[in-house]
Chains A and B, each alone.
Chain A
């Protein structure tokens, strides 16, 4: 349903929608892994280091978790291609009391295409290195959030929520409507993190955490 839209002449090293969604999906994978590691949702030695984006990132070795994330992200990829997903949220909730403790919110916006009359030469493709640098910065920032995020002592569970348009194509048995697992407004603190953008998508990151008093 989604044709590969090319914004620029094929001869240029430009990013396509497909390429951009792949990049974004990959980013989500690493961001999710980083968050799960940093917040201690899964035991720290389940993770091993891989080189990505010019730095080492931690990825889970737990096969079940890896498969789970892959399944989810595959669907997210599909939605990205059709442009139906607007927000991806990784919510960390307490295992016993099911209260949401943290929400990592990634806004997905489509970058407005430049004015139609522009010639292919005028608009320059965003170099991959720049995109990678931006992603690197976000990941580093996620890691640095441990300095102010409240310490989580209790066992936690995570949930990935996808905010999509009404008209979205949902594989029936796999995704269900759910409540947003929002933190009570009076107890929530929000911190906006850095964002990155490819030529097609713009991803903004934000963390909302539960803070008492």
Chain B
């Protein structure tokens, strides 16, 4: 409620609020609102407004002014004594509760102080203030704390060198980083090898075979590598098999000139070969006898992809349907899966036959329950998972050999992304964007890696580590045109790719560990006899 008193003007009407909170109590008794009344004041006041300004009056007026009470109207109001409107009483210096000498209210931000004032600066470290303290006090304090008054603070004129100014050290640090990194955080650390530098994946093919008549169509699946180490390839309307161990080429099937083969796949035991045709027919061939065993018709459109599961051969059709054929029975069509609006271009059974993954030209990835025949042949069943993340045709689907729930799917030109799925939960675990259309994916049985083959525009083969998704290797321009088809050898070491440039190339990608190789060979041989020997009636 204390206003600073207005400077009294010459007007007699102006009222100066001169009552202040610090007014002495003896004014309180007076009717202070009436500035005219100044009764009951001590004798020190200069009572009467005299016209002449005596020095005494002056002094007392000054005193009055200093406590903020100006009697108006009198001559003193015209005296220019009010130079200070409100002078607070000298503030009591607060005693800080800390055990440090009392400070004044000076700024404690030392760094902004004039650096020439070192003495004060240094003493301020001890919160001494030589300006306000007496020299004797300062000296006593200095003696007590041992801080001499006369000192200089020196620093070397150059600033310290920045970190890693030594390029060699910086480089060494970069090279050594993988040693300190956590698993999966640095490139190549996800793979089993200790140093990715040691691995050299040859960018040139180990072997190149001629494949005249290979059709350059993204939606076909024209090569397969059987568990008996035989590569089957469809050139035009003929099927050739190449025995990897002997290098011998055998013509299995020769069809009419004007037709072509759309897909082929070896059965799990390598004894039988399924061939899909553009007219919807699926043929079954016996490889040992090199004879056609049966033709399964019924599809209304091209059968672009096949996948075996024991005695069940699944075919994906251009109309989007997937049929399961039980090759042992006369009525071969045992089930139909309708989940795609577009051509089915990717189809893969999981090794244990529990799930079937299918990808279509409608950009949809479906994962189906593998039980066949429960629901009945004509009842369409719905997919366990339907994933629409891809923005282009999903031709590349591959199941992970060491972690059965993992499925990798790759999209076409406008998508070019690999998604890794957990098929138990349906979750998308990882995604990897690649620079080109993905035509196939193969997982490595030996390392935690997978590779992708690409078409537009890089025509490359890329090897990635899992789960870090880091690029392990890239074989650029693996073919002169899009790498469309790929198959991996039963021992997991060689990759065979085919493209429209009429070449069949073999690449050494993954080295099988020596010990395991023997076991793998044994087991594959044993495995082939264990897994469903087909008996065809």
Please provide the chain B residues from 100 to 159 with a CB less than 8 Å away from any CB of chain A in the complex: 108-111, 113, 115-116, 118, 121-122, 124-125, 127, 148, 150-159
Please provide the chain A residues from 83 to 123 with a CB less than 8 Å away from any CB of chain B in the complex: 86, 99-100
Please provide the chain A residues from 11 to 63 with a CB less than 8 Å away from any CB of chain B in the complex: 41-43, 45-46, 61-63
Count A-B contacts at CB 8 Å.
123
Contact B152 A68 (CB under 8 A): no
Which one of B125, B158, B164 lies within 8 Å of A182 (CB-CB)? B125
Q: How many angstroms between the C-alpha atoms of A72 and B115 in the bound complex?
A: 22
Interface residue A209 (Cβ < 8 Å from any Cβ of B): no
Contact B161 A65 (CB under 8 A): yes
Which one of A64, A173, A181 lies within 8 Å of B165 (CB-CB)? A64
Contact B122 A174 (CB under 8 A): no
Closest A residue, CB atoms, query B121: A180
Interface residue A161 (Cβ < 8 Å from any Cβ of B): yes
Point out the residues of chain B lying under 8 angstroms from A176, CB to CB.
154-155, 157
Point out the residues of chain B lying under 8 angstroms from A170, CB to CB.
152, 154
Interface residue B374 (Cβ < 8 Å from any Cβ of A): no
Which one of B124, B157, B159 has the greatest number of beta carbons of chain A within 10 Å? Answer: B157
Contact A186 B108, CB 8 Å, known A65-B160, A180-B122: yes
Contact A68 B158, CB 8 Å, known A46-B169, A180-B122: yes
Contact A185 B127 (CB under 8 A): yes
Q: How many angstroms between the C-alpha atoms of A159 and B155 in the bound complex?
A: 7
Contact A173 B157 (CB under 8 A): yes
Chain A nearest CB, measured from B163 CB (Å):
5
Contact B155 A160 (CB under 8 A): yes
Which one of B111, B150, B173 has the greatest number of beta carbons of chain A within 10 Å? Answer: B111
Interface residue A177 (Cβ < 8 Å from any Cβ of B): yes
Contact A157 B121, CB 8 Å, known A162-B155, A164-B152, A186-B108: no
Interface residue A168 (Cβ < 8 Å from any Cβ of B): yes
Contact B110 A184 (CB under 8 A): yes
Q: How many angstroms between the C-alpha atoms of A178 and B166 in the bound complex?
A: 28
Q: How many angstroms between the C-alpha atoms of A176 and B118 in the bound complex?
A: 13
Contact B111 A182 (CB under 8 A): yes
Chain A nearest CB, measured from B531 CB (Å):
53
Interface residue B289 (Cβ < 8 Å from any Cβ of A): no
Interface residue A163 (Cβ < 8 Å from any Cβ of B): yes
Interface residue B172 (Cβ < 8 Å from any Cβ of A): yes
Which one of A99, A163, A165 has the greatest number of beta carbons of chain B within 10 Å? Answer: A163
Q: How many angstroms between the C-alpha atoms of A71 and B161 in the bound complex?
A: 13
Point out the residues of chain A lying under 8 angstroms from B166, CB to CB.
62-64
Contact A175 B111 (CB under 8 A): no
Contact A45 B172, CB 8 Å, known A180-B121, A184-B110: yes
Can you list 13 A-B contacts with CB-CB less than 8 angstroms, sorted by A residue number? A45-B173, A45-B176, A64-B165, A65-B165, A86-B151, A157-B159, A163-B153, A166-B150, A174-B156, A178-B154, A179-B153, A180-B110, A180-B125
4 tightest CB-CB pairs across the interface, nearest first?
A: A64-B161, A166-B150, A178-B155, A179-B115
Contacts A170-B152, A179-B111 supplied; 14 other A-B pairs, CB < 8 Å: A63-B166, A65-B160, A65-B161, A100-B111, A155-B163, A157-B162, A160-B155, A163-B122, A174-B156, A175-B154, A175-B155, A176-B157, A180-B110, A180-B118
Question: Which residues in B have some Cβ–Cβ distance to A below 8 Å?
Answer: 108-111, 113, 115-116, 118, 121-122, 124-125, 127, 148, 150-166, 169, 172-173, 176
